[in-house]
Chains A and B, each alone.
Chain A
Amino acid sequence: MTSRSDPREMKPPDYDQSTLLLPFADAPSIVQAHQKDKQTEAILSVKLERFFRSLKGQLFTNACTEEISIVAKLMYFGLTTLAGSKTLGEEYVDLVYVSRTGKELVKRYKKLLFVLSYALGPLVVSRILRRWGSGSDDSDSKDKTYSYRRILDIFLNVHLVLFYFSGSYYDVIKRILGMRYAIGHKVNPNEAKFRTSNSNTYKFLGHILLLKVASEKLPATLQYLKKLLVSEGTDSANDMKVCGGNGVDASHYYIKGIPDESRLSHIDLSDKSQLPFIPEVSRTCILCLNLMVDPSCTPCGHLFCWNCIVSWCKERAECPLCRQKSHPQQVLSIR
């Protein structure tokens, strides 16, 4: 981090001679650098948290973990990338930032943009998504947020696949800003061979990831788009159906009141095959003195019929046997 490497020295002064340009970095070394940076960042974050804890107390650090990690990121990349030196990870595998074409160095303002968006980006995105989610509480907008998140998810996955294939940009932000990595030294043929074979492994990974993303997202997305088109074609009358969408019909996830008595299936302990782990002596409900129907359990563990114990707990919220607190909503039916 401290050794200030000036890439200009390594860069050939004559841009026309393409053979003298630094070669673009390969995917494995980028990943390695990234991992190393993450690790350092985490260490820094922990140290910073400890610092704030001794300064402002546990409560503060607990409430501001997100902010502290942002400060850690800003510090780390501000002192390295922004100041013009390499991060520990970049130094580890010897990488230098170059422009999209690889012929220029990356400008300072781009680095600043990168540091800011890298540190604040995730927070901003999640805040925006949350605001869209809570902005209006009708299910339609919630569904939209969900789909935005899905789109974002798909986008990130596609980005990762691209990285595995081309090995160019590991961060989305770097792709947008055009900050590529180049190897900071001359590569001899032996090393080049080693690096290509490593990159090929990553391409293989890319194939697998592509297959996974496609199989996961494609059917659901297609169905979603189809439904979206259908709803636009018809009227907003069947809006409800659309927001139930996302591939599956969610209508049966909603509880629509108490089901009809005839549709309930009761567990009757007079049938010995039901819940055979309950011993003979414990199968009688102390409240109705019958063999239990729908045995249910209070927080203290005593068993009663569902109807018996719930009607009692409505009267007084305690276990009839041990008087421990037991609200009706705490009674659990045993299945």
Chain B
Amino acid sequence: MSRIVKEYKKIKKVLEGHGEAFENLIVQLAPVNEYDLLSWKATIRGPSDTPYNGFSIGLTIKIPSDYPISPPMVKFEPYKMPHCNVNFQTGEICLDILTRQHWSPAWDLLHVLKAIEQLLQEPVPESPLNVDIANILKEGDRTAYTGLVRYYFCGGT
């Protein structure tokens, strides 16, 4: 359990400006409550060159008690996330490194956020959780994709 405490210290240090690599990505990454490091909140910037550019996206992270043996559970919450690999209703993310079969304890929360950023940049319509957006992507209809994402972020449900 001391691992997450260490990680918290490291994340604090990184976010205070020592880690430029995350400046463009992370707005906020902190436990919901200082006394309970098992429940985290994160806000990331939508990466440039994607329809998400310019939006802030919220995530919740649940740390399992046997972390880092088990992977953290990450969801897009509290807002709905239009992305072909994210369940629109629950916010569940289809990302291999977050599954038990592919997770490595050598990774930390910063790696996880980096991987999510990459998922936003490179959606995988071949294994979709959101079939509608996957179909649009498969058609290669970039305009529809951008329009749909913007619609949801700027006042859709």
Q: Known contacts being A287-B68, A311-B69, is A320 close to B7, with CB within 8 Å?
A: no
Give 1 or 0 for each of B43-86: 1 = CB within 8 Å of chain A CB: 00000000000000000000000001100000000000000000
The answer to whether B106 and A289 touch across the interface, beta carbons within 8 angstroms, is no
The answer to whether A320 and B105 touch across the interface, beta carbons within 8 angstroms, is yes
The answer to whether B6 and A321 touch across the interface, beta carbons within 8 angstroms, is no
Q: Known contacts being A320-B105, A321-B104, is A288 close to B69, with CB within 8 Å?
A: no
> In the assembled complex, how far is the CB of residue A282 from the closest CB belonging to chain B, in whole angstroms?
14
Q: How far is it, in angstroms, between the C-alpha of A288 and the C-alpha of B2 when the chains are bound?
A: 7
Q: Which residues of A contact B6 (CB under 8 A)?
A: 288-290
> In the assembled complex, how far is the CB of residue A182 from the closest CB belonging to chain B, in whole angstroms?
80
A191 at the A/B interface (Cβ < 8 Å)? no
> In the assembled complex, how far is the CB of residue B91 from the closest CB belonging to chain A, in whole angstroms?
26
The answer to whether A287 and B106 touch across the interface, beta carbons within 8 angstroms, is yes
Give 1 or 0 for each of B1-31: 1 = CB within 8 Å of chain A CB: 0110011001000000000000000000000
A263 at the A/B interface (Cβ < 8 Å)? no
The answer to whether A315 and B104 touch across the interface, beta carbons within 8 angstroms, is no
**CB under 8 Å from chain B, chain A span 288-335:** 288-290, 308, 311-312, 315, 320-321, 323
What number of A residues sit within 8 Å (CB to CB) of B? 12
Q: Which residues of B contact A321 (CB under 8 A)?
A: 104, 106
A286 at the A/B interface (Cβ < 8 Å)? yes
Chain B residue with the shortest CB-CB distance to A302: B106
Give 1 or 0 for each of B102-120: 1 = CB within 8 Å of chain A CB: 0011100000000000000
Chain B residue with the shortest CB-CB distance to A308: B105
The answer to whether A312 and B105 touch across the interface, beta carbons within 8 angstroms, is yes
Cβ contact of A288, chosen from B3, B10, B104, cutoff 8 A: B3
Q: Which residues of B contact A287 (CB under 8 A)?
A: 3, 68, 105-106
Q: Which residues of B contact A320 (CB under 8 A)?
A: 104-106
Q: Known contacts being A311-B69, A312-B69, A315-B69, is A286 close to B106, with CB within 8 Å?
A: yes
Q: Known contacts being A311-B69, A312-B69, is A289 close to B7, with CB within 8 Å?
A: yes
Q: Which residues of A contact B68 (CB under 8 A)?
A: 287
Q: Which residues of A contact B106 (CB under 8 A)?
A: 286-287, 320-321
> In the assembled complex, how far is the CB of residue A30 from the closest CB belonging to chain B, in whole angstroms?
69
Q: How far is it, in angstroms, between the C-alpha of A253 and the C-alpha of B68 when the chains are bound?
A: 38
> In the assembled complex, how far is the CB of residue B13 from the closest CB belonging to chain A, in whole angstroms?
12
Q: How far is it, in angstroms, between the C-alpha of A311 and the C-alpha of B105 when the chains are bound?
A: 11
- B residues contacting A by CB (< 8 A) are 2-3, 6-7, 10, 68-69, 104-106
7 contacts between A and B (CB under 8 A): A287-B3, A287-B105, A288-B3, A288-B6, A289-B10, A290-B6, A320-B106
- A residues contacting B by CB (< 8 A) are 286-290, 308, 311-312, 315, 320-321, 323
**5 residue pairs, one from A and one from B, having the closest CB atoms:** A289-B6, A320-B106, A320-B104, A320-B105, A286-B106
For the complex with contacts A286-B105, A312-B69, A320-B106, 17 further pairs of A-B residues with Cβ separation under 8 Å are A287-B3, A287-B106, A288-B2, A288-B3, A289-B2, A289-B3, A289-B6, A289-B7, A290-B2, A290-B6, A308-B105, A311-B69, A312-B105, A315-B69, A320-B104, A321-B106, A323-B104
